[in-house]
Amino acid sequence: MTNLTDMAEYPKDPIMLLSWTNMKLRDFYSSLDELCDDLEIDRKELEEKLKNAGFTYNMELNKFW
């Protein structure tokens, strides 16, 4: 799995990461697992980064909030 801090294309700012992730989920992926599998992102790391900023994933809505 790709470490988020190793990839330049992922936003480093947590609010930008939230926006980027939710846009990807809304426009391209039906689940967080699908996004992480396709982009080779470590799901636990992504969730931890967003959790530290106060956001959690809602599976029913398919977004972080």
Per-residue pLDDT tens digits of the chain, which is 65 residues long: 667 756 557 899 999 999 999 999 999 999 999 999 999 999 999 999 999 999 999 999 999 99
Give the integer Cα–Cα distance in Å for 44 and 10. 15
- Give the number of domains in the chain: 1
Whose structure tokens read 């689940």? 31
Query: 35 near 4, Cβ under 8 Å?
Result: no
Residue 6 in any domain: the answer is: no
Neighbouring-strand partners of residue 63: 58
Give the integer Cα–Cα distance in Å for 24 and 53. 19
Residue 41's domain comprises: 13-64
Predicted confidence at residue 9, as pLDDT, reads: 77
Residue 5 in any domain: the answer is: no
Predicted confidence at residue 64, as pLDDT, reads: 98
